[in-house]
Structure 1
Amino acid sequence: MPATDYDDFAQAYAVSNESNLFNAYYARPEMLRLAGDVSGRRVLDAGCGSGPMAAELRASGADVAGFDASAAMVDLARRRLGDDVDLRVADLREPLPYDDAEFDDVVASLVLHYLEDWSGPLGELRRVLKPGGRLLVAVNHPAAYAIVYPDADYFARTEYTEDYVFDGQTVWLTFWHRPLHAMADSFAAAGFRIATISEPPPAQDTPADVLPPGLEPGQSFMCFLFFVLEAT
């Protein structure tokens, strides 16, 4: 994902991220639930955006660091978190600016599906994790791709682009679909074991007016797929 993609609409995305269904009431609460007790743990937020996840992890007692490919996003995160949090501009497709075995946990929420190749990024995330550390991942659900694009080849790694509206601004995002078995193979090749797969409902406190028509409170829907991976 080119760094300029999010630079162009960083503020609009950050505003939407605070209250929309997909980020505020689905991806972020589930990632925090899967993280559990992070008190005293060193946690890296990979693709930190404007910093809402890092802020909640820090509030739960974690020693947080974060990076994003978008300099504009990192600037917003610095405004939120202050100068005492290690925030950097870095790209997952390149070597990361961290030492080996530096972190207890890495969270990578809605990041990997922007990347065509996972081998290098997952290798770097494994490198910066301590042995037995955890990588928490949220990606676009591969089955949702098959539902939205019924004529596409589910089993092929495929690039696709969709439009989204963030705080009134329409933007186009490009993703890479890959089938579930390809995800699992990539995790294993990088030295991870799948400990948990989650397909949750929205958070219990989701306002009724945020839910799409027909989705009842507490009802799961096809959107993102969540993993907890253990570094072997």
Structure 2
Amino acid sequence: MRADHYDSFAESYAKSNESNLFNAYYARPAMIELAGDVRGRRVLDAGCGSGPLTEALRAKGALVTGFDSSTAMLELARQRLGEDVDLQVADLSQPLPYADGTFDDVVCSLVLHYLKDWTAPLSELRRVLKPGGRLLLAVNHPRILEASDPSADYFSVTQYSDEYSFADGQNAVLTFWHRPLHAMADAFTEAGFRIAVISEPPFSPDTPRELLPPDLGERTAFICFLFFVLDAH
């Protein structure tokens, strides 16, 4: 997705991100749980958006850095985090402005599924990690494609789009790239990572009931995102 496209609905997206089901009560809590104890660790938020995950990791004691390709989203992050946090405009498809082995951890939440080619992005994220560092990822679950197009080929790398309506009435079309699980795993291995964790977590237990799908019943999880912890070796 082009950064200027994201700029056009940055404030609406950021406001929704604060309290909606998928970000506030699912993806963000899951990433924080996977990160564990980050006190004193240098953590890069790759595709930080308006900075809510960066802020949460800083609150847990991490030394945070972030980048995003959207200047509008990054300005919102600066307002949230202040001038003492290193925030830069950068594109994950291009070389990143950090030295080799700078970070203990990289978090990359809901970013890679916008990209057709994962080779260069994963290589760059591996480069800026210390040996033994961790890459924590959240991406669209590969079964999501079925909801968008039941006739689609699961085993292909396929582009698909969804329209989103934000609480303030603004609409946006987001375009993603589906890839099957084995293609994700192959890309991780080729970039020099070892899969330590694959997670399909429950939603946060403090999720307001009115935010949950009415047909969920007593289930505590749904198919939405897939989470990984990858070790750099």
Q: TM-score range by the shorter chain?
A: over 0.9
Q: Which residue of 1 aligns with 2:8?
A: 8
Other-structure match for 1:193: 194
Alpha-carbon shift at residue 148 of structure 1 (Å) = 3.7
User: What TM-score, normalized to structure 2?
Assistant: 0.98
Matches within 5 A, 1:174-185: 174-185=175-186
In structure 2, relative to structure 1, the CA distance for the partners of 1:12 and 1:133 (3 Å cut) is same
Q: Which residue of the partner structure matches residue 45 of structure 2? A: 45
CA displacement 1:77-109 (0-9 Å, x = unmatched): 000000000000100000000010000000000
Aligned amino acid, residue 10 of structure 1: A
Question: 1:217 Cα deviation (Å)?
Answer: 6.0
Partner of 1:140 in structure 2?
140
Percent identity of paired positions between Structure 1 and Structure 2: 68
* Matching residue's letter, 1:212: P
Structural mapping, 1:143-222, within 5 Å: 143-167=143-167, 168-216=169-217, 219-222=220-223
In 2, Cα distance between equivalents of 1:129 and 1:146: 34
Secondary structure, in 3 states, of the residue corresponding to 1:77? Answer: helix
Unaligned runs of 5+ in 1: none
Partner of 2:19, secondary structure, is: coil
Whether the 8 Å CA contact 2:148–2:160 is kept in 1: the answer is no
The residue that corresponds to 2:229 in the other structure is: 228
Q: Secondary structure at the match of 1:142?
A: coil
d(CA) in 2 for partners of 1:90 and 1:218?
39
Q: Given residue 137 of structure 1, which amino acid in structure 2 is its aligned partner?
A: L
Q: Matches of 1:156 and 1:123 in 2, distance apart?
A: 22
For 1:193, give the aligned amino acid: R
1:146 Cα deviation after fit: 2.7
Q: How much does 1:218 deviate?
A: 5.6
Query: Is the alpha carbon distance of 1:217 and 1:13 closer, same or farther for their aligned partners in structure 2, counting shifts above 3 Å?
Result: farther
Give yes or no for contact 1:163–1:170 (8 Å, CA) kept in 2: yes
Separation in 1, partners of 2:150, 2:210: 29
Aligned equivalents of 1:147 and 1:133: distance in 2?
35
Aligned mates of 1:217, 1:225 — CA distance in 2: 21
Q: Please give the per-residue CA displacement for 1:183-220, whole angstroms capped at 9, x wherever unaligned.
A: 00000000000000000111011011111112246611
Shift of 1:166: 2.0
Report the residue type matching 2:209 in the other structure: A
| Alignment check: 8 A CA contact 1:208 1:217 kept | no
| 8 Å Cα contact 1:134-1:231 kept in structure 2 | yes
Q: Is the 8 A contact 2:48 2:66 kept in 1?
A: yes
Matched positions, count: 232
What CA distance in whole angstroms lies between the structure 2 residues aligned with 1:58 and 1:6?
A: 25
Letter in 2 for 1:166: F
Which residue does the alignment assign to 1:35?
35
Aligned partner letter, 2:36: G
| One-letter identity of the residue aligned with 2:35 | A
TM-score, normalisation: structure 1:
0.98
